[in-house]
Amino acid sequence: MKNLKSRVIVGISVAALVFMGALNMYGQRGEFGLRFMPTFSKFDVQTSSGGTVTGEAKFGLGFGALLGFHFSDYIGVQGEVIYSTASQQYTEVDVERNIKLKYVNLPLLLSLNTGKTKAVNFNVVAGPQIGLSVGSSISTSGGEISAPNGVISVKKGDLGLAYGAGIDFGLNPARSIRLGIGYRGVSGLFDISDNEKSITTDAFYVLDRSKIRTNAAYIGLSFLF
């Protein structure tokens, strides 16, 4: 076990050295950053009578990290790891239901820039995003005790199209420390509901043929190396 750990550490170290060497040799730049992403989400929910309604989007939190590779000042790719919550609220016959979905999202994006190392850079990004469900919950308030119970069940994974635009500013003379602000949208491509579990006769699935759509703002710091 110790030998295996040592080999893994050595392998990671060698890969990092090769990566840094490639950057220096070809003038390419890496980027690492952290972001805070307040998020508003939208998805359809099902009523106890079988109808479909769009709930009221609620504020959710998101934060994460990015690792980018820039082939030039104008084009690059970036991978991200983002934890976010998607929340929705709706009322049916005086019963208020609040739904919260938790995801770890993994977008892989193509980045187009006006000048990544300039004092001010405008960018647009687009690419696929994999979402991994890490929890879901539903809370109910108001109404009669005899109201049907809402059950929430989601698939473990989701796939969406991520896109956005932003602006970043060089904060130091070398312009290697960047402050970025911008917009990120994601359109889910598949139904996230998983309605194969058995439920009681006085219960119903809240999600049915639902796709998640999110809109988020972001602010963060990144470092070119």
Per-residue pLDDT at 23: 47
Q: How many Cβ atoms sit within 10 Å of the Cβ of residue 225?
A: 10
E-strand stretches of the chain: 29-36, 39-42, 44-46, 52-54, 56-60, 62-70, 75-92, 95-113, 120-141, 149-151, 157-170, 177-188, 203-205, 213-224
Q: How far apart are the C-alpha atoms of 84 and 218, rounded to whole Å?
A: 12
pLDDT score of 90 = 74
Looking at residues 178-191, what average pLDDT do you find? Answer: 94
- Decide if 154 contacts 146 (C-beta within 8 A): no
**Is residue 74 scored above 70 in pLDDT?**
yes
Place of tokens 């805070």: 36
Distance CA 5, CA 15 (A): 15
Alpha-carbon distance 130 to 159, whole Å?
A: 5
**Distance from C-alpha of 104 to C-alpha of 80, rounded to nearest angstrom:** 10
Q: What is the mean pLDDT of residues 55-71?
A: 87
CB 203 within 8 A of CB 195: no
What CATH class does 29-224 carry?
mainly beta
Give the model's pLDDT for residue 141: 73
Question: Is pLDDT above 70 for 136?
Answer: yes
Percentage, residues of the chain above pLDDT 70: 72
Q: What is the pLDDT of residue 14?
A: 56
Least confident of 11-25, 168-182, 189-203: 11-25
Q: Say what the pLDDT of residue 19 is.
A: 46
Distance in angstroms (rounded) separating the CA atoms of residues 134 and 94: 30
pLDDT of 31 above 60: yes
State how far the alpha carbon of 66 is from the alpha carbons of 48, 81, 89, 164, 197, in Å: 41, 6, 31, 15, 36
The three-state secondary structure class of 31 is strand
* Beta carbons within 10 angstroms of residue 49's beta carbon: 9
Give the pLDDT mean for 108-118. 96
Residue 173: per-residue pLDDT: 95
- Please give the distance of CA 37 from its chain centroid, rounded to a whole number: 9
55 membership: H or E segment, kind and range? none
The tally of CA atoms less than 13 A away on the side-chain side of residue 149 is 8
Query: Average pLDDT of the chain?
Result: 81
pTM of the model: 0.77
In the predicted structure, residue 12 carries a pLDDT above the cut 80: no
Decide if 154 contacts 147 (C-beta within 8 A).
no
What is the band of 5 on the pLDDT scale with cuts at 50, 70, 90? Answer: very low
Least Cα distance to 198 among 153, 140, 155, 135 occurs for 153
Confidence bin at 212 (pLDDT 50/70/90): confident
Closest CA to 103 of 173, 68, 154, 67: 154
